[in-house]
Amino acid sequence: MKNYIDLSLISKYRGELMGFAMIYVVAFHVCGMRHDTLWYCLARCGNLGVDIFLFLSGIGLWFAFTKNSSLGHFYWRRYKRIYPAWLVIASLFYIPKLIDGNISFMELLGELAINYGFWHHLALNFWYVPAILALYLIAPWYMKLIQADSHYRWLPVAAMLLTLLVQYWQPLYQSVGHLEIFFSRIPIFLLGINAGALVKSGYTLPKSSLWLLLLIFAMSTLVCINFEDGLRRRFPLFIERWAYIPWTVSLTILLSQLFDRLPRWSLKVFTIVGTVSLEIYLIHIEFVMKNVKPLHLGYWLTLVITLGVSTLLAYVLHYIIEKLQTLRKK
């Protein structure tokens, strides 16, 4: 057994960690009416899955950018992964709205291009997609900054202050205050980029730091559970999202160490889900969960069916897109 904590395992198990995060997000979305149970509070903390996605995305971007720093190459690789699946799902969702007269043709183009409804009036159907696309825009410039001067690694702190400004400085609040869900996630994304250098270099922590990680994890868990168990709406939501930052970092490190000690077969579900996590995200609410929930099958069965059907459809979508891209290359 290793006598140190190996941060490079985050990269080794990145797919499985993505799978864990996606399952947690689905569990959060399936969670409906309030129940006075610990699981309800934990499921309501499923926003954590998004933060894990962003943290891991930041780490992955550092690997990619330090391998090839061409901006054109960087943007092409990122958007080639997102846009094909997005255009398929967005077309299936928004074109019927156009046919029904609920949106105009120009609005349809705006939705397909940048999910305009999210930026304009906080339409949350697919909010992670426009958010990550926007973060991709700033990522290479941030990485160039920290490569030139390591002091800029403190910018995540400035990003936390930006969240405060967005909420409490009237000029910003009146223009973009509705986008708190986006601005409050910038810090964890930038921290992921910062962590990328440590992960890539194989940085290790002494085994004695395990107790500190467990303490941070326990404290963060307790804070977030209490928020969901009665404090929600009594405090600004971004405060809870700030608590997700140490929770995300500590849990990601701890899970990567745990996964390395488990047999590979036991991680299969996480691997399967993680491979098509983007497609599952795009499909599971509007095309699966909203059709399963009216059946009133109970929480756990609804969760299993939603996750299972969404994963199957996600692999179908993933396969079709890969085939089309292969044919295009020929």
Nearest to 193 by CA among 253, 114, 135: 135
Band of residue 326 on the pLDDT scale cut at 50, 70, 90: confident
DSSP string, 123-141: --TTTHHHHHHHHHHHHHH
The CA distance from 123 to 157, in Å, is: 28
For the stretch 247-293, pLDDT in tens is 999 999 999 999 999 999 999 999 999 999 999 999 999 999 999 99
Contact 88, 287 (CB under 8 A): no
pLDDT, position 2? 74
Locate the domains of the chain by residue range.
4-329
Contacts of 45 (CB under 8 A, 6+ apart): 28, 224, 225, 228
Q: What is the pTM of this model?
A: 0.94
Angle between helices 47-67 and 186-200 in degrees, nearest 10: 50
pLDDT, position 32? 65
Nearest to 132 by CA among 168, 181, 73: 181
For the stretch 24-62, pLDDT in tens is 999 999 986 555 566 777 777 888 999 999 999 999 999
The CA distance from 141 to 146, in Å, is: 9
Q: What would the mean pLDDT of 6-15 be, rounded to a whole number?
A: 96
- Whether residue 1 has pLDDT greater than 60: no
Q: Which amino acid is at 259?
A: F
pLDDT, position 241? 87
Q: Give the pairing type, strands 204-206 and 4-6.
A: antiparallel
Q: Write down the mean pLDDT value for the chain.
A: 92
* Two tokens, residue 65: 């950018």
Q: Backbone phi, then psi, for 4, in 5-degree steps?
A: -150, 165
Angle between helices 299-329 and 268-275 in degrees, nearest 10: 50
The CA distance from 73 to 138, in Å, is: 15
17/224: higher pLDDT: 17
Strands (E), the chain: 4-6, 204-206
For the stretch 76-97, pLDDT in tens is 999 999 999 999 999 999 999 9
- Whether residue 3 has pLDDT greater than 90: no
pLDDT, position 35? 59
The CA distance from 143 to 268, in Å, is: 33
